[in-house]
Structure 1
Amino acid sequence: MDLLSPENVCPGLISKYFGQKYYYYQELDSTNLKAQELAAGGVPEGTAVVAEMQTAGRGRRGRSWHSPEGQGIYVTVVLRPALPLHEVSRVSQVAAVAVAETLQEELQLPARIKWPNDILINGRKIAGILSEAAIKQNHILYVVTGIGLNINNRLEDFPDDLRTAPTSAREENKMFVPRVLLLQGLLNRFEKCYQQLLEGNFSDILLRGRKLSQDIGQRVKFDTPAGYEIGLAIDLDEDGSLLVKDDAGIIHTVISGEINIIDK
């Protein structure tokens, strides 16, 4: 069976520390919640928490993540980045690039990043990323970065109320996709990208993120404290925030919230 057990996954890892400490569960409420518990208890950086299913998988802004048994990859990695607090948002950009590039390399899928941390295939959502940080006195204690990937799900099995139309690797490639190989590739690539961040080479990650962006060059609707605005997404700034020029020519730095491409 295509189980994501340590016996199946760990021998194929070439990472130095991502996944070398590997916690595996048949069922969890949330891999992020378990990873937070483990991180607070002192597990090392790179510790991976993997579940075959989640009963309360979480996305951004309190949304749920559909996590049926044995169909997807539900993994959270514990990170302890030695970064200034204002750079913590870079972790999500690193993860998004790693996921998109893994799908391109391993499955030849045309993955694109919908800012800030959704991965789409031809406009349909295949993956989501949720990074959560623990902060004390302006110091990053740890970050847990959770990744949910739709792998062998069938379209008819997704809930009807998802905000973005879903897809899966199986639906896109019209064949069963081995989850073990994909998780190995993801952990290996995520570590390489993360190492670039720690070594001060985020500019390369950002360049790749720009090329993978589905938003740059598009008219988008975005959140502001005063409500939503409409403008042209023009770039990512040095921390991965989205830069949007409104119709008056004012450039907004979008740090969080929702953005949606406006259909032409």
Structure 2
Amino acid sequence: MGSSIREQILNLLLKQGEATISGEEISRQLQCSRTAIWKHINELRKEGYQIEARPKSGYRLVYRPDRVAPEELKPFLQTKWVGQKVRYKRSVDSTQPLAHDWAKEGIEEGSLVITEEQIAGRGRMGRAWHSPPHSGIWMSLILRPPIPLAQASQLTLLTSVAITRAIRKETGLNVTIKWPNDLLIDGKKTCGILTELRGEQDQVHYVVQGIGINVNVTDSVWPEELKEIATSLAIEAGRTFERPPLIASILGEIEALYEGYLNHGFQPIRILWEEYAGMLGKTITARTAGGMVKGIATGLAESGALLVETGKGTEAVFSSDIQI
């Protein structure tokens, strides 16, 4: 209940702009005591909000910190169910295990774990993911798709399309997709997707999709080995971006594509993925469990596997590291 009142107080202050709103008016609108309002305003101040209190006049929001807490996200969110329930932490080792725990408790589909900082963020194949505070989007989304285990990898491709569409719309940057789970700008990684699931007897119980996006990360915070291969939206655009509207846009795209996927299958996602892929028509090398596959990337199979034209014909690559 507390966070809900805090969200509503913040929304009222935001709507006022430069004007003040009295404690009495807030109390009337939210139907809670003046003491409760004072308590929640102090909590907002602890989170970095500067709220001016003028005698006989009321409260005014002077400064708003860059946060991805629910009270910042909700005003932008236009989804029906994705992101409507949020678990927010200032700092975590990784959002993935928290989302797994929540999913095992039976939380509904579309619930989101989000943080300002990951101390031990991880990517595909156990790699570390550098997640500095207040500079990116570090979140895990819980889905419960009624699909067989064999189709679960399609969700990574769906999410990569959704994020690409949102970033292009919100920033104008030419983001492209690299199979299976990376988004690139001019060959440098700006986003990674980690799909983990639990299931049995060929049925998915739940999926946790970890999404890491370098939004306002600067070169100065990265280890040297990342500077040549990673970038951020701010570096590429030459300006910073508000994270809550971008998150809301991403969640909206995921909801729309996911509902379409459940109703119409993978084919529409495949068409969109091939439109946004920056690697089709290029020579790639895939390191698979069965050895190296070298050839020209031509598209996606219905399963979501990458199709590679080699000297011996077309080969489907299901899981590998790709070099372009």
Conserved? CA contact 1:57–1:67, under 8 Å: yes
Inter-CA distance 163–151: structure 2 relative to 1 (3 Å threshold): closer
TM-score by length of 1: 0.95
User: What amino acid does structure 2 have at the position aligned with 1:27?
Assistant: S
User: Which stretch has the larger CA shift, 221-230 or 107-116?
Assistant: 221-230
Structure 2: 5+ residue stretches without partners: 1-64
**Structure 1 residue runs without a partner (length 5+):** none
Residue matched to 2:192: 128
1:59-74 pair list within 5 angstroms: 59-74=123-138
Cα 1:260/1:163, change in 2 over 3 Å: farther
The answer to which of 222-231 and 108-117 deviates more is 222-231
SS at match of 1:161: helix
Report SS of the residue matched to 2:216: coil
Cα displacement (A) at 1:229? 2.4
**Conserved 8 A contact 1:72-1:149:** yes
Contact 1:219–1:232 (8 Å) recurs in 2: yes
**SS in structure 2 of the partner of residue 140 of structure 1:** strand
Q: Which residues in structure 2 correspond to 1:178-257 (within 5 Å)?
A: 178-248=242-312, 250-257=313-320
Pair 1:44 & 2:111 matched:
no
CA deviation vs aligned residue, 1:32-68 (integer Å, no higher than 9, x gap):
1110110011000000000100011110000011101
Cross-structure match for 1:161: 225
What amino acid does structure 2 have at the position aligned with 1:48? Answer: L
Corresponding residue of 2:81 = 17
CA distance in 1, matches of 2:236, 2:111: 30
Whole-angstrom distance in 1 between the partners of 2:290 and 2:265: 35
Tell me which residue corresponds to 2:215. 151
Whether the 8 Å contact between 2:288 and 2:321 is mirrored in structure 1 is no
Selected match of 1:103 from 161, 167, 176: 167
Specify the code of the residue in structure 2 equivalent to 1:152: N
SS in 2 for 1:65: coil
1:258 aligned onto 2:324: no
CA distance in 2, matches of 1:93, 1:239: 11
Identity %, equivalent residues = 37
Q: In 1, Cα distance between the equivalents of 2:230 and 2:289?
A: 29
SS in 1 for 2:278: coil
Contact 1:125 1:164 in 2 (8 A): no
Report the alpha carbon displacement of residue 164 of structure 1 after superposing the two structures with TM: 6.6
**Counterparts of 2:107 and 2:268 in 1: how far apart (Å)?**
29
Question: How many Å separate the matches in 1 of 2:161 and 2:303?
Answer: 14
Paired AA for residue 14 in structure 1: Q
Cα separation, 1, equivalents of 2:137 and 2:289: 35
Q: Aligned to 1:78, which of 142, 152, 158? A: 142
C-alpha distance in structure 2 between counterparts of 1:150 and 1:11, whole Å = 23
Distance in 1 separating the partners of 2:214 and 2:153: 24
Q: Distance in 1 between matches of 2:290 and 2:110?
A: 39
Deviation of 1:203 (Å):
1.4
Q: Secondary structure at the match of 2:128?
A: coil
For the pair shown, the structure with the greater C-alpha radius of gyration is 2
How far is the alpha carbon of 1:162 from its aligned partner?
3.3
Q: Could you state the TM-score of these two structures normalised by the residue count of structure 2?
A: 0.78
Shift of 1:163: 9.3
- The answer (yes or no) to whether the contact 2:73–2:248 under 8 Å persists in 1 is yes
Question: Does the residue aligned with 1:58 lie in a helix, a strand or coil?
Answer: coil
Read off the aligned partner of 1:119 and give its amino acid letter: L
In 1, Cα distance between equivalents of 2:226 and 2:254: 27
Q: Distance in 1 between matches of 2:265 and 2:228?
A: 32
Partner of 2:121: 57
Q: Distance in 2 between matches of 1:207 and 1:146?
A: 23
Counterpart for residue 173 of structure 1: 237
- 8 Å CA contact 1:233–1:244 kept in 2: the answer is yes
Distance in 2 (alpha carbons) for counterparts of 1:83 and 1:254: 21
Q: Which has the higher contact order (CA 8 A, sep 6+)?
A: 1
RMSD (Å) for aligned C-alpha atoms: 1.3
